[in-house]
Amino acid sequence: MRERLRSDRGASIFMLAISLFLLIGASAIAVDIAAIWLDRSTDQKVTDAAAAVGVLEAMTTGGQSACETALTYVAKNTADLDSIDTSGCTAFSGACVEGAERELPVTAGRYDLTVVYPVPEDHELMTSGIVGQQDQALHEDDGEKDCERVGVRMASTRNSLFAQVLGFSQGRTTVHTVAKRTEGDPRPPFNLLVLDRTGCNTITVGGGGGIIADAVIAVDKDTGVHLGLVPGIIAADSDGSGCSGSQGVIGISGAGSLLRSDGGVECPTWTGGTYLVPPDNFTAYEGCGQISVFAPGTPGCNLPACSVSGGGNEPVPPPTPLGSRYTRKVADYRYNCYSDYTNPPSSPDVRWASPALTLANQQDIDPCPDKATRDPYIYDLIQDVGQTGQPGSLPRWTDLGYTCNPSGSITIPSPGVVVNCGTLQITTGVSVTINGNAVFNGNVTVNGSLTVNPPVGDQAWVFFRNGRLSKSGSGRITFMYAMVYLSKTSDVKLTGGSGALVWKAPLDGRFEALALWSDSPSEHAWSGQATLDMAGIFFMPWATASYQGNGVMQQTNAQWIAWRVSVGGNGALRIAPPVGNALEFRDHMTILIR
Amino acid sequence: MLKRVFGTRSKERSESVQDDNESRRDSGAAMVEMAFIFTLLVMLLVGVVTAAIAFGQKNSIENAAREASRYAATLPEAWLNLDEVVAVAVEAAQGDLDADVDGQYICVAHTGQNVRRVVDSGGTTEGPGTCYPDGLSDSRIQVETRRQSQINAAIFSVDLNLNAKASARYERAGS
């Protein structure tokens, strides 16, 4: 016995057993912990993508779609999931209410998922998932709106590979992401933006006509150095829900009809043409810009986003998804910074104020964030001018001794005039020059010449209380550094021909760069002119802007924002916005808060 | 007596020799056992280390796919450069998707533009298409990363084809 005790035999086996147990145990734990950390990394990828796409859908389509799409992206980004039951997402139907948190727990395979929308500021998902639960935002949350946040939590359970020998049968890890939609960097200016949110044929080109968005020169605001060309951009905000049959948001019909956007860089959809853009003669490439539609059917020209018929040309480049809504709010913020658009004043009854600007009438905007420091310039002007009377003691036309069918050459000195005529007829050979502001109570028909031309260094406004501004083919209209306001009972019909149309926005002041603000829902019609010079922002959020007739309407410094746009009759509308002074839209972007 | 003495001595010598032999035998057995144990330990150690490396590589290419898809999803389209997205994936992989990696494969696709870029041992190719079918139809970024790896247990090894995919909705307007 003693001898056996003295023997070393078996000691190695004992040591081996102990060593192997410890080593295998440590290895098992290490491998399983590594697997869980791999799960954690993968799951974070999944929740990032799901929350990001969820908030995109929440902002554009609604909560239910946000939930469904987020869960779909979870399935697509998870190797061991084919699909996820999204039927519970009906819990998110209906409008989002601030503070009214809704959650949907879903189990799929080895994953427990939770979709949260909206995500209140004090929700647990707004804190870190890392030990300690301290606030840890990948990006700082920069807003207070719960309805702009979507959260996705993902807990995955993994059966231990080896650690079961030590009694650890499963491991579990939980990650989450909250995504928030916000506005990011300024984007190149839109040449043309149509605001109709649901309509069909919101951009139509027919009869051999064309709309061309020119590339424009980007300028360094600090140094004035020309940086090169940015692409022309045409955008339609309609979701296409009003379309049926073969109709599209963009409708191109008729032989030779053309919708094109040009860019500063050669691209795969380059049509072969180039042209030089002064002053630095940058080369612009035809068909290398951007045409974007909010409706489904893109990329490419497909219903309901786009339709081509009757021999019309396919749009170049092919339309792409707009991605996010672009509303009129940029114009409102700049020129009409109002506190609460949903509770309009009772008087005056202007289109932007009554009915209220809501999603219901497709003019959704938020209260202006700078309302404490900026004035509602348009609203102030409407109030100042009113529906009757003589604002600012402007003299009345007839009190100055003129008839509503004047003759000869008339010059009205500053500060201007109230034209109290049912119809002011400026016949051939007659010239009317107003060196100040002008209020028109009714129609203005121009066969001769109408000029609004403020004193040097000043700016002017032209206010149409009622009626139509029209001109014949040979008539001449000049609005030099003047902002034109059209009430909801006014419109313009400017026939083309041998005449001239010069319409330039003020260079500074409260209406800087604004050439037209129209609250009218009537069609606004232009045609080609022998002399044409339009510069500034033409804001017609309720009206269809129509361009008909032969000739090219080339606007080198104009930005068009309209309810709809229609071009036909061999007319070609070329639009190039005033870079540096156009309405500046911002890209939407998603930030992740973890 | 002598016999007893000698006998005793002889017995003691015999026991001593036997002890020496047993000790020698034990020592040899221990050597064999240690050699066996050492081999097993080395195999286990190498296996654990190479498995950990493989886990790390898998983690890296997952991270690369995630970072690249997220990066591309936020780029303004006018400046969307798939080359740049590939570079982000390579950088995020921290060496695990470099050009000299066995089986290196990086695919980046923008479904909205119907264009994809593939970087692998055959070089770089760009053309229409997606990186992989996912049943979705929206404008999105797909990134797929692959590489080869190996779990090595000294006397045998297991080849691994690591793969990671990420789909992210293109987030910027104009996509």
Query: Could you give the CA distance from residue A450 to residue A164 in angstroms, rounded to a whole number?
Result: 91
**Those residues with Cβ within 8 angstroms of residue A270's Cβ, 6 or more apart along the chain or in another chain:** A285, A286, A287, A288
CA dihedral A34, A40, A46, A51 (to 10 degrees): -170
> Is there a contact between A56 and B171 if contact means CB atoms under 8 Å apart?
yes
Tally A–B CB contacts below 8 A: 148
Query: Could you give the CA distance from residue B73 to residue A45 in angstroms, rounded to a whole number?
Result: 13
Of B41, B58, B139, the CB nearest to A299: B139
- pLDDT tens track of chain A, all 594 residues? 555 555 666 676 777 778 777 877 777 787 788 888 888 888 988 999 999 999 988 887 789 999 999 999 999 999 889 899 999 999 999 888 888 899 999 999 999 999 999 998 888 888 765 444 444 445 555 556 788 899 999 999 988 877 676 777 888 999 999 998 877 777 788 999 999 989 999 999 998 989 999 999 888 777 878 888 999 999 999 989 999 999 999 999 999 999 999 998 888 888 889 999 888 889 999 999 999 998 888 888 999 999 999 999 999 999 988 877 788 888 988 999 887 776 666 656 666 655 667 666 777 777 787 888 888 899 889 989 988 899 988 999 999 999 999 999 999 999 999 999 999 999 999 999 999 999 999 999 999 999 999 987 788 999 999 999 999 888 999 999 999 999 989 999 998 778 899 999 999 999 999 999 999 999 999 887 778 888 999 999 999 999 887 666 676 689 999 999 999 888 788 899 987 789 988 877 788 887
* Amino acid B81: pLDDT: 79
Over its C-alpha atoms, chain B yields an Rg (Å, rounded) of 31
Task: From chain A, pick out residues whose CB is under 8 angstroms from the CB of B22.
Answer: 7
What three-state secondary structure class fits A27? helix
Low-confidence ranges of chain B (pLDDT < 70): 1-27, 76-80, 172-175
Place of tokens 């606004």: A524
Q: Count other C-beta atoms under 10 Å from residue A384's C-beta.
A: 11
Q: In whole numbers, what is the pLDDT of chain A averaged over residues?
A: 87
Q: Count other C-beta atoms under 10 Å from residue A355's C-beta.
A: 11
Taking a contact as any Cβ pair under 8 Å apart, which residues of chain B between 27 and 66 contact chain A? Answer: 27, 29-30, 33-34, 37, 40-41, 44-45, 48, 51-52, 55, 58-59, 62-63, 65-66
Q: Is A42 on the interface with B (CB under 8 A)?
A: yes
Q: Is B172 on the interface with A (CB under 8 A)?
A: yes
Structure tokens at A336: 């009409």
Question: How would you label A18-42 residue by residue, b for 16+ Cβ within 10 Å and e otherwise?
Answer: eeeeeebeebbbbbbebbbebbbbb
- Among A474, A473, A469, smallest CA distance to A443 is for A469
**Those residues with Cβ within 8 angstroms of residue A412's Cβ, 6 or more apart along the chain or in another chain:** A400, A432, A433, A434, A435, A436, A438
- Among A467, A542, A459, A451, smallest CA distance to A499 is for A451
- Among A289, A291, A211, smallest CA distance to A257 is for A211
What is the ipTM for the molecules in this complex?
A: 0.79
Taking a contact as any Cβ pair under 8 Å apart, which residues of chain B between 86 and 125 contact chain A? Answer: 111-114
Residue A3, judged by CB atoms within 10 A of its CB (0-12, 13-18, 19+), counts as: exposed
> A590 to chain B: nearest residue by CA?
B171
Of A41, A299, A589, the CB nearest to B171: A589
Distances in Å between the Cα of A559 and the Cα atoms of A30, A232, A260, B59, B161 are: 63, 11, 16, 49, 54
Task: From chain A, pick out residues whose CB is under 8 angstroms from the CB of B42.
Answer: none
Over its C-alpha atoms, chain A yields an Rg (Å, rounded) of 32
* Amino acid A131: pLDDT: 44
Question: How would you label B62-98 residue by residue, b for 16+ Cβ within 10 Å and e otherwise?
Answer: bbbbbbbbbbbbbbbbbebebeebbbbbbebbeebbe
* Amino acid A528: pLDDT: 74
Q: How many residues are there in chain A?
A: 594
> Is there a contact between A8 and B136 if contact means CB atoms under 8 Å apart?
no
Q: 0.95 exceeded by the pTM?
A: no
> Is there a contact between B66 and A230 if contact means CB atoms under 8 Å apart?
no
**Residue B133, min C-alpha distance to chain A (Å):** 10
Query: Could you give the CA distance from residue A84 to residue A58 in angstroms, rounded to a whole number?
Result: 19
Of A9, A12, A52, the CB nearest to B169: A52
Q: How many residues are there in chain B?
A: 175
What three-state secondary structure class fits B88? helix
Query: Could you give the CA distance from residue A251 to residue A201 in angstroms, rounded to a whole number?
Result: 5
Place of tokens 């019609």: A525
> Is there a contact between A326 and B173 if contact means CB atoms under 8 Å apart?
yes
* Amino acid B20: pLDDT: 67
Query: Could you give the CA distance from residue A338 to residue A341 in angstroms, rounded to a whole number?
Result: 7
pLDDT tens column, A296-311: 888 889 999 999 999 9
Query: Could you give the CA distance from residue A335 to residue A333 in angstroms, rounded to a whole number?
Result: 6
Contact A440, A477 (CB under 8 A): no
**Those residues with Cβ within 8 angstroms of residue A210's Cβ, 6 or more apart along the chain or in another chain:** A256, A257, A258, A259, A260, A567, A571, A572, A573
* Amino acid A355: pLDDT: 64
Task: From chain A, pick out residues whose CB is under 8 angstroms from the CB of B168.
Answer: 48-49, 52-53, 73
Q: Is A191 on the interface with B (CB under 8 A)?
A: no
Per 3-state DSSP, chain A is made up of helix, strand and coil in percentages (nearest 5) of 20, 35, 45
